[in-house]
Amino acid sequence: MIALQDKSVLVIGLGASGMAACRLLLKHGARVTAVDSADTATVQVQARELRTQGVTVRIGSNAPIAGEFDLAVISPGVPLDLPLVQDLRQRNVPLIGELELGYQHARCLCVGITGTNGKTTTTELVERLLTHTQRKTVACGNIGLPLCDVVEQTKNLDVLTVEISSFQLETTQFFRSAVAVLLNITPDHLDRHPAMVDYVRAKGRVFANQQPFDWAIVQNEALAQLRAAGVKIPSKIITFSANDSQADIYRDRSLIISRIEGWVGPLLDLEQCRLRGPHNAENLMAALAVGRVLRIPLAEMVDALQSYAPAPHRCELVAEISGVKFINDSKATNVDALRQALLSISPAEPGKPNVWLIAGGKDKGLDYHELGPLLAQRVKGAFLIGEMRERIRAAWGLFTACTTVDSLLEATKQAACGAASGDVVLLSPACSSFDMFRNYQHRGDVFREAVGNLGGGETKEEAKTILKMAT
């Protein structure tokens, strides 16, 4: 653990993670300097708050900063190629992330959960398993509550349940999960990671400090990707898969089945759960495996998992109007998340598409072409928004009718007007939200509001005319 008393520490980024890091550093007697390249009203308020606590604050610049520092703590959203970060490395200033800082001062074991998709759902499932069986835990990390803000609680917890992003893993040093979960690895954040193999290795860092007596719970397909990238796992391994029956825990139609010695047989009937789709089957498998290694009785796990309801913005049914379902999947910020959303929606008639898709947003360096065949099978038409709309239209135009629109409100309105009973209007953007919205929650809330305001505007006939002109 890094001693902080009287040390000079630079905090880079004043989002939730940066502010939490500042609070913890001040509590432990560090002299804190905080910087942020933004100069928004929110950042100005944060800067004023920190200055009243004795923090030196500089906002509105990414340039190197003068002074000697014993440590730098970087927020996960800050790119590692900034001139400021490169300057610190050249000066041999130790650089860690907020997650690492919090971990070094925590006083209980961690269950760490990462993967491209499903992290938050699985983190909530594990938290539910633990609290349902009177284990004390807090869900923190990438889920929205920085680990630094719960350090003081850890002395009274049985275990921390930590959602971890690839950005957070890049700046870990000693972080160790006694139980580490890797859900899946599909293309994402390729605007930040130089290549897919770098993204795979970043995810694999969740196992880096594990010991032989720890546990790694890994999707079978992701395990193969790790091995191809040369990532080794030093702990005991449990595999799971919704598609590979050779995994330790696998899906057979609606049943989750285990082949683990001493735990052989059906574990859970998916028909009795409120989560749907193969991706959610894997989230449930991972939670069951965590419960197994933490010695939670199966009957108690089943009771907790069956009653879990999907969190907001994750294939959330917002409304059903005249037989048309409106589903908010704003959390789908990459191509594979969109794929899973489409696969989870049942067609109204076999072989006929029934989805009106709303997609688009900020570029993450992803390839959209591979989704084409599934779009042809499932999607009647796509309404595309944000900075990626023209690139996505170029990728999808041969597979489904694509219309570019200026806003999510307009997209929702046009999709609703074109939809018939049995259709689904699906917001599943396959992009991040930061070009038009504060975050994916804001985007989902705007969609909910748009659905709530349906009823005026164009008639069905006018909408059909618009669609014909667009295609």
| Residue 345 within any structural domain of the chain | yes
Name the domain boundary from 273, 306, 339.
306
Q: Evaluate if residue 457 carries a pLDDT over 70.
A: no
Q: Domain residues for 184? A: 106-306
Q: Evaluate if residue 461 carries a pLDDT over 70.
A: no
The CATH number assigned to the domain holding 19 equals 3.40.50.720
Considering the domain architecture, whether residues 123 and 36 belong to the same structural domain is answered as no
Residue-level pLDDT at 374: 96
| Residue 3 within any structural domain of the chain | no
User: Percent of the chain scored above 90 by pLDDT?
Assistant: 85
Q: Evaluate if residue 218 carries a pLDDT over 80.
A: yes
Considering the domain architecture, whether residues 64 and 115 belong to the same structural domain is answered as no
**What average pLDDT does the structure give for the chain?**
93
| Residue 153 within any structural domain of the chain | yes
Considering the domain architecture, whether residues 244 and 345 belong to the same structural domain is answered as no
Residue-level pLDDT at 465: 42
227: left (phi over 0), alpha (psi -120 to 50) or beta: alpha
Considering the domain architecture, whether residues 296 and 420 belong to the same structural domain is answered as no
Residue-level pLDDT at 467: 40
Q: Evaluate if residue 15 carries a pLDDT over 50.
A: yes
| Residue 165 within any structural domain of the chain | yes
List CB contacts of 60: < 8 A, sequence separation 6 or more: 36, 37, 38, 39
Answer yes or no: are the C-beta atoms of 75 and 27 closer than 8 Å. no
Considering the domain architecture, whether residues 31 and 142 belong to the same structural domain is answered as no
Considering the domain architecture, whether residues 282 and 350 belong to the same structural domain is answered as no
Answer yes or no: are the C-beta atoms of 13 and 50 closer than 8 Å. no
pLDDT in tens, 17-40: 999 999 999 999 999 999 999 999
Name the domain boundary from 66, 99, 132.
99
Q: Evaluate if residue 469 carries a pLDDT over 80.
A: no
Q: Evaluate if residue 124 carries a pLDDT over 50.
A: yes
User: Percent of the chain scored above 70 by pLDDT?
Assistant: 96
pLDDT in tens, 382-398: 999 999 999 999 999 99
Say how far apart CA 356 and CA 383 lie, in whole Å.
8
Q: What radius of gyration, in Å, describes the C-alpha atoms of the chain?
A: 23
Residue-level pLDDT at 455: 60
Mean pLDDT on 450-454: 94
Helix-, strand-, coil-residue percentages of the chain, each rounded to 5: 40, 20, 40
Considering the domain architecture, whether residues 366 and 241 belong to the same structural domain is answered as no
The CATH number assigned to the domain holding 363 equals 3.90.190.20
Considering the domain architecture, whether residues 142 and 40 belong to the same structural domain is answered as no
pTM metric for this prediction: 0.82
Residue-level pLDDT at 363: 86
Q: Evaluate if residue 311 carries a pLDDT over 90.
A: no
- pLDDT category at 98 given cuts 50, 70, 90 is very high
The CATH number assigned to the domain holding 288 equals 3.40.1190.10
Considering the domain architecture, whether residues 77 and 199 belong to the same structural domain is answered as no
pLDDT in tens, 330-354: 999 999 899 989 998 988 888 899 9
Helices (H), 13-146: 16-27, 41-52, 83-90, 98-105, 119-132
Residue-level pLDDT at 2: 77
Q: What is the DSSP string of 313-355?
A: TSSEEEEEETTEEEEE-TT--SHHHHHHHHHHSPPSSTT---E
Say how far apart CA 470 and CA 463 lie, in whole Å.
11
Answer yes or no: are the C-beta atoms of 104 and 145 closer than 8 Å. no
Considering the domain architecture, whether residues 201 and 240 belong to the same structural domain is answered as yes
| Residue 191 within any structural domain of the chain | yes
Considering the domain architecture, whether residues 64 and 154 belong to the same structural domain is answered as no
Considering the domain architecture, whether residues 111 and 220 belong to the same structural domain is answered as yes
| Residue 2 within any structural domain of the chain | no
| Residue 1 within any structural domain of the chain | no
Q: Evaluate if residue 462 carries a pLDDT over 90.
A: no
| Residue 426 within any structural domain of the chain | yes
Q: Evaluate if residue 463 carries a pLDDT over 90.
A: no
Say how far apart CA 363 and CA 431 lie, in whole Å.
6
pLDDT in tens, 250-295: 999 999 999 999 999 999 999 999 898 899 999 999 999 999 999 9
Count of domains observed in the chain = 3
pLDDT in tens, 160-208: 999 999 999 999 999 999 999 999 998 877 778 888 999 999 999 999 9
Name the domain boundary from 52, 73, 99.
99
